[in-house]
Structure 1
Amino acid sequence: MTTDIPRPTGVQSLARAFGVLESLAELGGEAGLSELAAATGLAPGTIHRLVRTLVDLGYLRQLPSRRYTLGPKLVGLGETAAHQFGRWAQPVLAELVAQIGETANLALLDGDQAVYVAQVPSPHSMRMFTEIGRRVPVHCTGVGKALLSALPAAESAAIVARTGLPAVTPTTITDPAAFAAEIAEAHVRGYVLDEGEQETGVRCVAAPVVGPGAGDNRAAVSVSGPTSRMDDATITRIAPLVVAAGRRLGALLATA
């Protein structure tokens, strides 16, 4: 005996379509119909109809292999949303720069990478600069490691399993056990350090955006500067300020 699957209403169809997009992202951005059906719990026929509609609209793209990937229409939406999110966070970043004197950044988790969406530069002539919209690996950046530290352990491990731990500089952590320990420690203390792991001569302190408003807005805030100014005493002083900025952003999201 089979159970009839109710015909979706308009709202239910919309929820299911977004569920397909989110499931595809969680599967690494590429999947077949059977994988999507298993991930969403929807019947194959329902998945097929939703996927065809999303392809027609440009939100999914079918590959020659007949598998599906996220479509180009999402790029513009994502960039606009990220830009708006970054503008909203500018006052908090500016306050952080005033307190610390180094460049402050905000990044979001996008798939298996971190993307910078806002920055307030340091007043120093020698300062760090990151182009807004730049995508960076999560394993060798402060914001990336902070993002991983706030995820459920299984999800964080899955991302690392997909991306690996390739060396970018001599100090990049490439040992899986050491990296897992680093993320676990960051989860406990609330912040993480980037010890020149992406760019030699640069140190960074980063913390996830947390609190009642953070929700699925997977974001991290960071402060970065040259090692000549970011000594151990400075790191000890500014780490609580970065953590507080992450909490403030999370609280502001709750009232936005």
Structure 2
Amino acid sequence: MPRPENGAPRAGGVQSLHRALDLVEVVAGPGGHQTRGEIATVAGLPLPTTHRLLRTLVDRGYMRQMPNRRYALGFRLVPLGAAAMTMVGTDTEVVLAGLVDALGETANLAVLSGSHAEYVAQVPSRHTMRTFTEVGRQVDLHSTGVGKALLGQLADGRAREIVRRVGLHQQTEHTLVTEEALLADLALVRSRGYALDEQEQEAGVRCVAVPLGPEPMSWMAVSVSGPVTRMTDELVERAVPLLQQAGRQLTSRMLSSD
């Protein structure tokens, strides 16, 4: 079966739907407009299957075939994307940009999406060497700052149930790969009010994250991330109160826009 970006196997679901969405993500990725054969190769699917799925997506407006027979994203996705963005508030990037101005590193907003964390907004650092994550990308909960901040809002039993759906995949030598280690780390998250990714998702990258809250916004988390050479303990100490303030601002703005 196809695998998401983090390399973990699909956690069940309808295979044909997974495949159709894989095609959308392939066409949305680097390279722009692509031929049917190129799409099939990247997605790892047989050409006849790719053809059938593309025709269905074209019929529904989620994909379009250009005069040169290459495929591009369809305009039916535009209103869906706009509707999704209303969930994170119109001023989200302003708040994230404030974190970038104050700390110099990339700021992110993520939500709990099934058994993963999903990035829904980002303002990148202005440094040449910086972290970057595509909006819409899903990542493991157990190996990311935002993921552990989100898990920390749940009881241990519920957190264990969620991570067992996909497993504790080892991304780097620093990844927590046992439930005991993860639950111990989540206890720290709850006691100190923030989560750390100590090169657990990607070697050389450190992240600090806090959950938005209280309810009903505890399913979201805000973070800053960057190279370990710049994400020092001193910067993390400065970042935590700023992240908490940003979380309060985001919560207030989202609830007032409902």
Check whether the contact 1:210–1:249 (CA below 8 A) recurs between aligned residues.
no
Give the match for residue 220 of structure 2: 219
Q: Secondary structure at the match of 1:181?
A: helix
Query: Is 1:102 aligned to residue 105 of structure 2?
Result: yes
1:30 deviates by 5.5
Query: Is 1:251 aligned to residue 255 of structure 2?
Result: no
Cα 1:245/1:29, change in 2 over 3 Å? farther
Q: 1:194 aligns with which of 166, 189, 197?
A: 197
Check whether the contact 2:109–2:122 (CA below 8 A) recurs between aligned residues.
yes
AA aligned to 1:84 is: T
AA aligned to 1:124 is: H
**Distance in 1 separating the partners of 2:242 and 2:84:** 24
Cα 1:216/1:241, change in 2 over 3 Å? closer
AA aligned to 1:135 is: Q
1:81 deviates by 4.2
Check whether the contact 2:168–2:176 (CA below 8 A) recurs between aligned residues.
yes
Give the match for residue 183 of structure 2: 180
Q: Secondary structure at the match of 1:150?
A: coil
**Distance in 1 separating the partners of 2:248 and 2:154:** 16
| Number of residue equivalences | 185
TM-score by length of 2: 0.65
Check whether the contact 2:93–2:121 (CA below 8 A) recurs between aligned residues.
yes
Check whether the contact 1:121–1:127 (CA below 8 A) recurs between aligned residues.
yes
**Distance in 2 separating the partners of 1:81 and 1:195:** 34
**Distance in 2 separating the partners of 1:163 and 1:78:** 27
TM-score by length of 1: 0.66
Q: Over aligned residue pairs, what C-alpha RMSD do you find? A: 2.4
The percentage of counterpart residues that share the same residue type is 47
AA aligned to 2:238 is: R
Q: Secondary structure at the match of 2:168?
A: coil
**Distance in 1 separating the partners of 2:145 and 2:219:** 14
Cα deviation per residue 1:130-161 (whole Å; 9 max; x = unaligned)?
11111111111111111111224332221022
AA aligned to 2:233 is: D
The structure with the largest alpha-carbon Rg is: 1
